[in-house]
Amino acid sequence: FPSHDTAVGNENVVRAKGYIESLRKRGVSYYEIAFVKEIGYTHIGTLEFLVDDAKSVYFLEMNTRLQVEHTVTEERYGIDLVSLQFDLAEGLPLPFTEDDLHPMRYAIECRISSEDPDMNFLPSIGTLHRLRLPAGPGIRLDMGLVEGNTVSMRFDPMLGKLIAFDKRPYRD
């Protein structure tokens, strides 16, 4: 699998799709469910795995919080993970089971960052003089900046997220 700073070509996309199919066939979801049941975890989180060239699957880590990419899951499945997290914290049960979840559409997320590629991606600070963002059907923006805001060194350089999703039904 390419690292985050490597261009992804068709060959790598095909390999990634093969890995995903391998995970499905190995029943990774079964192991995820067994894992969280074993430790008594009842909230939203992410389990991460590594897959080697031999298609062996290894547990990497569990994040007991929403990941920045949670918006992709929300758009693909039509659920609000943030609201569900609050409901779970209040002791309310999930309104669905895993069997009820089916992908509805495709989605992709792009991070909007204030990084300077000419300076080895160091944060770029200053006043946001001009901001032009896409809008329309299939576009979701999660950010809180407007023109005139100041980007500071005191915060993460990620300014927001652009999530694009396809309204056409998902085909497996």
The β-bridge relationship of strands 126-127 and 150-151 is: antiparallel
Give catalytic status of residue 61 as yes or no: yes
For residue 19, give the 3-state DSSP assignment: helix
The pair of structure tokens assigned to 13 is: 């996309």
Which helix (H) or strand (E) segment holds residue 28: the answer is: helix 28-39
Find the catalytic residue in 61, 69, 90, 109: 61
**What is the rounded CA–CA span in Å between residue 167 and residue 106?**
8
Residues forming the active site: 61
